Amino acid sequence: MRVNLSDNEQQHYEKALAAVRQTLRQYEGCSEEEKSTLENEFAQLQAMTRKLETGRVEIAVFGEINTGKSALINALIGRSIAQVDVRGGWTKEIWQCSWEGCGYCIPGFAASQVVLIDTPGINEVNGAMRAKIAREAAQRADVILFVIDSDLNSQEFSALAELATSHKPIILVFNKVDLYSDEQRKQLREVLQTERLPRLVSADDIVETAADPLAKEYVIESVDGTTRVEWRKSRPDVEQLKVRMLEVLAKDGKALLALNAALYAADTSDRIAAIRIKLRDQQATKTIWSFAVSKAVAVAVNPIPIADVLGGSAVDVAMVFALSRIYGIRMSWANASALINAILLSAGGVTAVEMATHIAASVFKGLTLGAGTVLTALPHGGVAGFGSYIVGQAAKVYLENGASWGPEGPKIIVRRILETTDKNSVLERLKAEINERIRLNMAAGKKPA
C-alpha cells in the first residue's frame, strides 16, 4: 500500500530529521563523564536517526501479562515468531520482528518496513525495570497497540492514560473475545466506549480479536452411526485489527514518523540538558569546595605576611579557570581576574571582613616574625576559604548562564548566594579541614624515636 506524500509532510519529515541530528550534536559537545552517563540516550538517538532515514515504522504491543500480546504478534505475522507461555511474564526484554506481509511501506523509502515490538507486561511481579523498558519502547514507537482481555483495571487505565499523553495513535485491542458471548462482548464494548475511554481512545480504535482461540469440542458422526469427539482450534481472528492498523498508516504514515521523531528529539534534548546540568553542578560544587579548602589551608599555615594574600588570590583565579573548563567556556587570565573583582565588589561586607582579617593577621604575623601563625590559622584561613567559596558559587552561576549575569546582574546574584549560604556551617567545615591538614602535616613531620 503506497500513498502520495505532500510537500507539507515532506517538510515536517525533514525538520524532524534535522531535530534528531541536532540533538545528536549535543552529545558531541559533552565531556567524557557526560558521554558515559548519556551512552544509552546516544544509542537511542542513533537508532532514531536510522529509523527516519530508512522509513521504519515501529508498532509497540503493550499491555499486561496473559492478555495475549505474543499470540497477537504471531497471528499478525502469520507464523509462530513470539513464544506463548501460559504462565505469563516470559517476555524479559524488548524484541521485534518485521511485519513483512502487511503490504505497507512509507512512500519514498525503498527499504521501508513495519516492525512489531513486543514488550514486557506492565504488571509483572518485581518487574519495575521491565515496565520502564516497555515504556521506553512505547516512547519510540509510532503506533501503540494496547492489548486487554476484559474490562480495564486501574493499572491498565493508568498506563493507557500515561501513553495517551504522547499524542500517538493508540489502538485498543480487545483480545480473547472468543471467551465471551455476543451479549457480553457488546456490554464490554459499551462500557469501554462510554465509561472508560471516551477521552483516551476513539470508538474506531477499539477492535476485537481472537489471536489464539481456545479449542472447541466437536462431535463427529461416522457413516456407520458411531461418534467420536475431536477438539479443534479456529483460525486466529485479527482481520479487523489489520484493517485498522493499515488505515492509520495509510493516512498518517510518514507524518507519524516525523511527529514521533520530533517529540523524541525534544524529550531527549531536555533529558540530555538536565543530566549535563546535574553532572556539571556536582563537579563544580566539588571543585569549589576543593579550592576553598586549599585556600583556607594555604592562608592559615603561611607564616609570611602578604604572601598569604597573594597566594589566596592565585587560588581563586585557578578555581575560576577550573570552573570554566567544566562548563566549556574559554577564559583568559584577565577575564578570570575581572570576574573575581566583579564578584568581590558585589559581595561588599564579605570582602571587607576578609580584607580586614587579612590585614590584622598579616600585621600580627609580621610582629611575631611568623610565630603568630598558629593563633591566626583558624580564623584567618576560615575567612579566606569562605570568601573563595562565595566567589566560586557566584562564578558557577555566571558560567551556567553562558558567561553572563543575565538581567539580574552580579550584585543581586551574589546577595542571593550570601542569603542562602549557611556561613557558620561553611566556616566550621573549613576550620575542621584546616585542623585536619595541620594534624596530618605535624604527624608526617615527626621522626620515629
pLDDT digits (tens, 9 = 90+) for 78-127: 876 555 443 344 444 455 677 666 656 666 666 678 888 888 777 765 55
Which strands sit side by side in the sheet containing 56-63, from one edge to the other? 95-98, 113-118, 56-63, 143-148, 170-174, 206-208
What's the rounded mean pLDDT across residues 160-172?
A: 86
Q: What 3-state class would DSSP assign to 120?
A: coil
pTM score, whole prediction: 0.62
Q: Please give the Cα distance from 129 to 142 (Å, whole number).
A: 22
Average pLDDT, the chain: 77
What confidence score (pLDDT) does residue 129 get?
Answer: 67
Better-predicted residue by pLDDT, 398 or 41: 398
Cα 400 to Cα 389: distance, rounded to the nearest angstrom: 16
| Residue entry with cell 524484541 | 95
Q: Which domains does the chain show, CATH number per domain?
A: 7-210+237-272 (3.40.50.300), 302-445 (no CATH)
Q: Which helix (H) or strand (E) segment is 216 a member of?
A: strand 216-221
Amino acid (1-letter code) at residue 185: R
More confident residue, 410 or 259: 410
The rounded percent of the chain whose pLDDT value lies above 90 is 14
pLDDT score of 362: 53
pLDDT attached to residue 43: 84
Q: Counting beta carbons within 10 angstroms of the beta carbon of residue 190, is it exposed (0 to 12), middle (13 to 18) or buried (19 or more)?
A: exposed
Instruction: Give the pLDDT band (50/70/90) at residue 397.
Output: very high
- CB burial class (10 A; 0-12, 13-18, 19+) of residue 384? buried
Q: How far apart are CA 335 and CA 132, in angstroms?
A: 46
Say how many C-beta atoms besides its own lie within 10 A of residue 248's C-beta: 20
- Check residue 237 and give its pLDDT: 92
Percent of the chain that is helix, strand, coil (3-state, to 5): 65, 10, 25
Residue 237, C-beta contacts closer than 8 angstroms, at least 6 positions apart: 177, 178, 209, 210, 211, 213
Write down the pLDDT at residue 134.
66
Helix 373-400 to helix 333-347 angle (10° resolution) is: 110
Burial class (CB in 10 A: 0-12, 13-18, 19+), 143: buried
Residue 367 has pLDDT above 50, yes or no: no
pLDDT band at 438 (very low <50, low <70, confident <90, very high): low
- Assess whether pLDDT exceeds 70 at residue 364: no
pLDDT above 80 for 135: no
Q: 262-319: per-residue pLDDT in tens?
A: 877 887 788 888 888 888 899 999 999 999 888 887 776 665 554 445 555 788 889 9
Query: Cα 107 to chain center, whole Å?
Result: 32
pLDDT at position 5 over 90: no
State the first-to-last Cα distance of the chain, in angstroms, to the nearest integer. Answer: 93
How far apart (Å, rounded) are the C-alpha atoms in residues 305 and 82?
79
What is the average per-residue pLDDT within 350-365?
48
Q: What is the pLDDT of residue 78?
A: 81
pLDDT in tens, 300-316: 666 555 444 555 578 88
